[in-house]
Amino acid sequence: MHPAAVLQLERTIGEYNTWRAVPETERSPAPAWWWGPAMELRASSQPLPTEWRTGLELPERATYASAADIFLRAFAGQTSPPWPYDFPGKTDVADATDGADAIDIRELHPQPSDDSAFQP
């Protein structure tokens, strides 16, 4: 198994445990960035390290595929991914009734172009 895949899964397990700690009514949908590690490891039959297994509440002989299945099940019934600001819990969004000074954090602002890295 590629070390990068293992590293991504380790990060995803930490995020999953943080996400699961948020009460379900306040929890955001599962983030789309979990999809990659889950798909990459869904067929792996290698045993999962004990620390990760216990963090995911999996049985003793769980594999990387078992962990991937947890993330894939988190997407079940989901119709859209959350905004990054909504992870792990939902963020209140400002709307027009909040006053003129209310700014929606989801509003994307244009970033300055930096062409200095591409010298002719």
Tens digit of each residue's pLDDT (9 = 90 or more) over 29-78: 888 888 888 888 888 889 988 998 888 899 999 999 999 899 888 888 88
- In a domain, residue 119? The reply is no
Please count the structural domains in the chain.
1
Alpha helix segments (H runs only) across 22-49? 35-41
Residue 94 falls within a domain, yes or no? no
17-21, 33-37, 88-92 — which one is most confidently predicted on average?
Answer: 17-21
Quick check: is 65 in a domain? yes
Q: What angle do CA 21, 13, 6 make, to 5 degrees?
A: 175
- Rounded distance between C-alpha atoms, residue 13 and residue 116, angstroms: 38
Beta strands in the chain (DSSP E): none
| Domain-embedded: residue 103 | no
Give the residue numbers spanning the domain of 72: 3-79
Q: How many CA atoms lie within 13 A of 58 on its CB side?
A: 23
Q: Which of 33, 69, 34, 76 is nearest to 48 (CA)?
A: 69
pTM: 0.68
